[in-house]
Amino acid sequence: MIITTTDVIQGAVIDSYLGIVTAEVVYGSNFLRDFLASIRDIIGGRTASYERLFEQGQRKALEELEQRAQRLGANAVIGIEIDTGTINIDQSGVLLLITATGTAVKMR
């Protein structure tokens, strides 16, 4: 399966558009990771634990997107966008949200 951010795949002909597919990955907050990130906020620098978490989340979201497209009979997903965000849960913390969206297509 081809997955791409572009809306055109060079040399391919799209036979049918099967619809929009979306995949979400949600991670709960982690006290240790949040604590270490707060230290980084004070002293500066990158927060590697969160970078790894978002990298893993993006990979998982793309895997799920591909599976959902396959269930529709697609052999490609075009126009992929990945968004990140948070869901606030009162004073107890936040959830990290990673969403991948694209168009499932059948091409030749």
pLDDT average per 10 residues of sequence, the chain (108 residues): 94 96 86 53 63 89 98 98 86 83 97
- Each as own residue / partner, the long-range contacts of residues 81-84 (CB below 8 Å, 24 or more positions apart, any chain) are 81/5, 82/58, 84/54, 84/57
Question: What's the confidence (pLDDT) of residue 89?
Answer: 78
Instruction: Identify residue 75 by its one-letter amino acid code.
Output: N
Question: What's the confidence (pLDDT) of residue 47?
Answer: 67
Q: Domain containing 65 — which CATH number?
A: 3.30.110.70
Considering its fold, how many domains does the chain have in total?
1
Question: What's the confidence (pLDDT) of residue 51?
Answer: 80
Question: What's the confidence (pLDDT) of residue 98?
Answer: 95
Task: Give the whole-angstrom CA distance, residue 106 versus residue 74.
Answer: 5
Could you tell me the residue range of the domain that residue 71 belongs to? 2-107
- pTM exceeds cut of 0.85: no
CB atoms within 10 A of CB 58: 16
